[in-house]
């Protein structure tokens, strides 16, 4: 091959590589498998709690030890807060697996994380901040029933009159009315405080079960909220594989009316699905999980998001799962304040770790791995890039804009800092950048595990 042919071949290879790398937003976390999304809007930020499918599945079943949290102020860049709670937070528990679908809700300055532990019913953890540390206030499970294997997937909501509800269940739907302390409930209603919701076709649809007989469409994963005086129950429906459907009611306690499917089947969806819905900064978002990242492994799921609009009568349209996800950020990111390196719109090849003093940082950085950060507003100009890194090896960070092979603003050399725990702030001058751009931080070096990366900032 002569040199002209070599150049042409490399050009075609590169074109194919980059055209195959058109990065959408979904799934929104690439460093870990995440499932069962439960968003909470607090103080201008979305905190997204997820369950966590381990990278290694044990016994071909859900392998889930902890609950993770991610936050965003723009719906496209997500900051990883790590595992904010785990089964180890329950001293009385002798199970090591079963950290299923959580939901967190704030009240009176405290944050209550309701969690199901598979086969152990529903418990609660409390914290003073949305990202923990969470502790167990009861020393035992919260919900006492004689059907704890069916007691999964809690969803909590505080009504305008201050009455709080906790709904949950598979394949039935139950609720308790929580007391103001959010960690106990009124024992005088239902059976020892637990009310069983009537599962009629009018309320929750109908589908043919595996035995061929019709039954209620409701399956699990309820998500309970109120919007414009209408109460919504969104849930996984139609058995396995699951669709997402919903019902509405004029009060928090029903009566429920079945309203149909929201998300139907698609090839990259898992055999389970589980949804959360929020309004944030004037837009509505439907958050669910798929198996796009693991390529068809139902025990390795990932959270994805679609923006949508309610119909004028408050009904929810059918929402199609996409790779693009949320195309518009609801605000730009300010690069002149310290940005955690684990604030990511899209990444490849990376993991995050956490450290008691440092918090969460980006790890497992190999040659050509990268982080994309969306809608970064350089305003009138940025001329310098700084980053906090630690390494015994050496490498570099290329700072590019708009595309992974876009304009190179500069390269930060990362020489050894004297060890993996020896953090140093390094800086480099960059070509002046103005206005709003997507930023790509592309890591380069000859080795694996090049360095760890805690935060960055432009000046």
Hey, which residues are catalytic here? 36, 202
Rounded Cα distance between 316 and 141, Å, is 35
Rounded Cα distance between 239 and 220, Å, is 9
* C-alpha Rg value of the chain to the nearest Å: 23
Q: How far is the CB of 100 from ligand FUB (least distance, A)?
A: 4
252's CB contacts (< 8 A; 6+ apart) are: 157, 159, 163, 165, 224, 226, 231
Task: Pinpoint the alpha helices (H) of 269-315.
Answer: none
Interacting residues with ligand FUB (CB under 6 A): 35-36, 51, 62, 100-101, 152-153, 220-221, 236, 272, 274
Q: Which two tokens stand for residue 102?
A: 């959580």
Q: How far is the CB of 153 from ligand FUB (least distance, A)?
A: 5
Rounded Cα distance between 262 and 207, Å, is 15
Strand partners, 391: 419
DSSP structure string for 162-212: S-EEEEE-SSS-EEEEE-TTSSSB-TTSTBTTBEEPP--HHHH-EEE-TTS
The neighbour count for residue 197, using CB atoms within 10 Å, is 23
Phi and psi dihedrals of 97, rounded to 5? -130, 155
Question: In terms of C-beta density within 10 A (0-12 exposed, 13-18 middle, 19 or more buried), how is residue 374 classed?
Answer: buried
Q: Which is nearer to ligand FUB, 73 or 272 (CB)?
A: 272
Contact 100, 67 (CB under 8 A): no
Contact 38, 73 (CB under 8 A): no
Q: Which two tokens stand for residue 25?
A: 């937003």
Question: How many residues are present in the chain?
Answer: 459
Q: Which two tokens stand for residue 233?
A: 């129950």
DSSP structure string for 357-395: TTEEEEE---TT-EEEEEEEE-TT-EEEEEEEEEESS-E
123's CB contacts (< 8 A; 6+ apart) are: 90, 114, 115, 116, 117, 136, 138, 140, 141, 142
């Amino acid at each position: 091959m002569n040199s002209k042919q070599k150049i042409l071949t490399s050009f075609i290879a590169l074109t194919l590589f980059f055209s195959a790398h058109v990065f959408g937003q979904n799934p929104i976390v690439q460093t870990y498998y995440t499932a069962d999304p439960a968003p909470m809007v607090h103080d201008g930020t979305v905190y997204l709690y997820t369950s966590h499918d381990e990278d290694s599945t044990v016994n071909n079943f859900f392998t889930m030890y902890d609950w993770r949290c991610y936050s965003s102020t723009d719906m496209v860049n997500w900051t990883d807060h790590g595992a904010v709670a785990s089964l180890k937070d329950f001293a009385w528990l002798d199970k090591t697996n079963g950290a299923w679908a959580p939901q967190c809700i704030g009240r009176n300055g405290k944050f209550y994380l309701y969690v199901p532990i598979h086969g152990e019913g529903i418990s609660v953890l409390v914290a003073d901040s949305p990202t923990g540390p969470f502790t167990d206030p009861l020393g035992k499970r919260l919900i006492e029933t004689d059907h704890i294997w069916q007691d999964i997937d809690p969803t909590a909501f505080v009504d305008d009159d201050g009455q709080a509800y906790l709904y949950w269940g598979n394949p039935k739907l139950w609720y308790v009315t929580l007391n103001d302390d959010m960690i106990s409930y009124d024992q005088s209603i239902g059976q020892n405080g637990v009310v069983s919701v009537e599962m009629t076709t009018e309320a929750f649809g109908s589908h043919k079960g595996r035995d061929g007989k019709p039954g209620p469409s409701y399956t699990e994963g309820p998500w309970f909220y109120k919007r414009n005086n209408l109460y919504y129950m969104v849930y996984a429906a139609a058995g396995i594989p699951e669709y997402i459907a919903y019902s509405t009611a004029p009060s928090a306690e029903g009566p429920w009316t079945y309203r149909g499917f929201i998300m139907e089947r698609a090839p990259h969806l898992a055999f389970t699905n589980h949804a959360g819905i929020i309004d944030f900064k004037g837009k509505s978002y439907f958050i669910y999980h798929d198996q796009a990242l693991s390529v068809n492994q139902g025990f390795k799921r990932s959270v994805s998001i679609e923006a949508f609009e309610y119909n004028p009568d408050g009904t929810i349209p059918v929402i199609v799962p996409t790779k693009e996800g949320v195309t518009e950020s609801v605000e730009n990111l300010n690069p002149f304040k310290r940005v955690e390196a684990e604030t990511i719109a899209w990444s490849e090849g990376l993991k995050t770790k956490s450290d008691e003093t440092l918090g969460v940082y980006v790890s497992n950085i190999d040659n050509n791995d990268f982080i994309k950060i969306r809608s970064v507003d350089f305003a009138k100009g940025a001329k310098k890039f700084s980053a906090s890194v630690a390494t015994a090896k050496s490498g570099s960070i290329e700072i590019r804009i708009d595309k992974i092979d876009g304009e190179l603003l500069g390269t930060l050399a990362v020489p050894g800092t004297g060890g993996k725990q020896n953090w140093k702030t390094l800086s480099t001058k960059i070509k002046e950048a103005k206005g709003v751009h997507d930023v790509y931080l592309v890591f380069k070096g000859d080795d694996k595990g090049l360095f760890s990366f805690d935060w960055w900032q432009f000046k």
